[in-house]
Amino acid sequence: MDKLMELDNRKKELSNNRQGISDNKLEISKDLISIIVPCYNEEEALPAFYRAASDAVKEIEGADCEFIFIDDGSRDHTADILQRLSAMDGRCRYLSFSRNFGKEAAMYAGLQNASGDYCVFMDADLQHPPELLKEMYRVVKTEGYDCCAGLREDRTGENHMRTVLSRTFYHIIGRICRLDMGDGKGDFRMISRAMADSILELKEYNRYMKGIFSFVGYDTKWIPFHNVERSAGASKWNIRSLFRYAIDGIFSFSSAPASLSGATGVLLLLISALVGICSLVSGRGLTGIPLLICLLFLLNGIQMFFISILGQYMSRDYMESKKRPVYIIKKRGGF
């Protein structure tokens, strides 16, 4: 609760902003930047993020901003902090989900409720440096790009195992999906309204935003930045959740696993034929019960593996056919 009291000190600095974002919209000459921030148990990081982001947007000339925070079913005091922010700063708005729907759903919800000429996706842990916002705005405003994104040059603060697994995943998905989803190309980016509207046209339930960003196209400029450790709190991503995230990405944007099952079947037939021919030519015949048992286990294991792949595609099609909402809003404030 000390974090809640800390935010009160910002009230004096925001006395000129109490009329809220609606008054800013009257200034036709200024663009509006919507900063979308998914939050899940971020009570420790939110105050520091708000201070840093508020200071950063002051440096952007010719644009106003709004903050759209999405409380993704947090179990700490994240919702209380967001309510306090919304009450003391008219630029701050928030959505609270009825449960944890995931970061992809939170990003989609933020984009659906953003009214800005440009939209930004940022994490609340300050691993996405707010000081890059000024340069991102300059790029999309003056250089003709529809998207300016941060390119993470390193993985400072992450353990070695997670780094290896992440790089391996991005290498694989880059080869089989043929989309621009390389290592370090994350969610931190500013996009134009045209690109935002194109993303909103994609209504699928199983959302993988990195793939969606690449799928819709549009010209993107990458700005390199160095990764830093979280400002506060702990990462919500563990090996299990990252593995699930990787599976979602592969099956959402590639049919290669299904094609692989057919190719493997042909390969197994050729190997079986080759073994049979070699055995007959050598005159020894096909003998050896242990060998037969091993082959049976191997072939049945491969068969079950590819049945599982087909099941993954069927389950995703099943979820899409239900037409369930991507998220459910329990409470909102500032809108």
Q: What is the pLDDT of residue 93?
A: 92
Residue with the larger pLDDT of the pair 217 and 1: 217
Is the per-residue pLDDT at 177 higher than 80? no
**The pTM is what?**
0.65
Q: How many CB atoms lie within 10 A of CB 53?
A: 22
The residue type found at 319 is: M
Convert 96-114 into a string of H (helix), E (strand) and C (coil). Answer: EECCCCCHHHHHHHHHHCC
Would you say 122 and 36 are in contact if contact means Cβ atoms under 8 Å apart? yes
pLDDT tens, position by position, 95-139: 999 999 888 899 999 999 998 999 999 998 888 899 999 999 999
pLDDT tens, position by position, 266-296: 666 566 666 656 665 665 555 565 566 556 6
Mean pLDDT across the chain: 76
Q: What is the pLDDT of residue 182?
A: 60
Q: At what angle do helices 289-322 and 239-253 cross, to 10 degrees?
A: 80
pLDDT tens, position by position, 38-54: 999 888 889 999 999 99
Would you say 39 and 82 are in contact if contact means Cβ atoms under 8 Å apart? yes
Residue with the larger pLDDT of the pair 16 and 81: 81
Residue with the larger pLDDT of the pair 285 and 71: 71
Is the per-residue pLDDT at 262 higher than 90? no
CA 223 vs CA 31, 108, 226: distances in Å: 22, 23, 10
Proportion of the chain in helix, strand, coil states, percent, rounded to 5: 50, 15, 30
